């Protein structure tokens, strides 16, 4: 479904991503782990069309998307939920969702009901301005907004960032529910224990490169993963 080959990305002289290969199979939930500064966000931003890679390819369902403009990437079926959420603060929950529906491929107002079922809190707060909601609610809205584009591939950057444990659970319950429905997902997550409990396959990045990969069982037994992320 999503195949990233030899992806390299830089900020001026800083080589943040160096020859990354990764694959997310259709209907699978794949996680990208790594410490701060390893290059995870830059990898996702390059996949999502927010950062122009130096070299390499990003193929989504047979289409090369790494050189497309941002709206074309969305239309190709990839939705990105950035770190920090980036909801439109002065707009309400329902306005945020409607806005995203226009940007997507087959805007479908019935999707809103599905999103409210996934996140009942958003339904309760549908008339509330996004900027006045808690961090967790904004994260739910950011995911809902991405789903409004009916993505073939949902890409999430650290959805648990800064959230209380109970809210992290709610967000991950929703991610698991989406995965069970068959949504293909690529996730960057600092919390390796949670990430490995929900994913089908994982990659570990260090200094811009993939250094370990495997099933969650394999990763849990990997000495490097154990020491760096699960101790």
Which of 50, 41, 87, 84 has its CA nearest to residue 70?
Answer: 50
Of 30-38, 88-96, 135-143, 194-202, the segment contacting ligand ATP by CB under 6 A is 30-38
Nearer to ligand ATP, 16 or 185 (CB): 16
Q: Which is nearer to ligand ATP, 14 or 26 (CB)?
A: 14
Q: Please, what is the minimum distance in Å from the beta carbon of residue 42 to ligand ATP?
A: 3
CA dihedral sign, ordered 44, 102, 136, 118: negative
From CA 62, how far away is CA 2, in angstroms rounded? 8
Q: How far apart are CA 195 and CA 127, in angstroms?
A: 32
| Nearest-approach distance from CB 183 to ligand ATP, in angstroms | 23
Site for ligand ATP, residues 10 to 29, rule: CB under 6 A: 11, 14, 16
Edge-to-edge strand list for the sheet holding 63-64: 14-24, 2-11, 55-60, 63-64
Q: What's the min distance (Å) between Cβ of 2 and ligand ATP? A: 18
DSSP designation for 54: S
Query: CB 31 → ligand ATP: shortest distance, Å?
Result: 13
Among 8, 28, 41, 66, binds ligand ATP (CB under 6 A): 41
Is the Cβ of residue 29 or residue 47 nearer to ligand ATP in the bound state?
47
**151 lines the binding site for ligand ATP (CB under 6 A):** no
202 binds ligand ATP (CB under 6 A): no
Which residues, in sequence order, are bridge partners of residue 3?
23, 59
Q: Is the torsion defined by CA of 43, 51, 41, 61 positive or negative? A: negative
Residues contributing to the site for ligand ATP (CB under 6 A) = 11, 14, 16, 34, 36-42
């Amino acid at each position: 479904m999503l195949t990233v080959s030899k992806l390299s990305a830089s900020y001026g002289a800083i080589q943040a991503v160096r020859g990354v290969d990764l694959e997310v199979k259709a209907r699978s939930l794949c996680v990208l782990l790594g410490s701060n500064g390893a290059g995870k966000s830059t990898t996702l931003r390059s996949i999502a069309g927010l950062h122009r890679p130096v070299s390499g390819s990003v193929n989504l369902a047979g289409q090369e998307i790494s050189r497309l403009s941002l709206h074309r990437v969305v239309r190709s079926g990839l939705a990105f939920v950035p770190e920090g959420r980036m909801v439109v603060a002065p707009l309400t929950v329902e306005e945020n969702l409607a806005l995203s529906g226009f940007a997507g491929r087959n805007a479908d107002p019935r999707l809103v009901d599905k999103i409210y079922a996934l996140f009942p809190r958003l339904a309760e707060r549908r008339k509330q301005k996004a900027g006045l909601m808690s961090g967790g609610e904004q994260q739910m809205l950011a995911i809902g907004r991405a789903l409004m584009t009916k993505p073939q591939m949902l890409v999430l950057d650290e959805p648990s960032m800064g959230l209380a444990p109970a809210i992290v659970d709610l967000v991950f319950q929703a991610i698991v529910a989406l995965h069970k429905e068959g949504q293909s997902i690529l996730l960057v997550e600092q919390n390796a224990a949670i990430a490995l409990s929900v994913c089908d396959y994982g990659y570990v990045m260090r200094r811009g490169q993939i250094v370990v990969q495997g099933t969650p069982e394999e990763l849990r037994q990997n000495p490097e993963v154990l020491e760096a992320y699960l101790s």
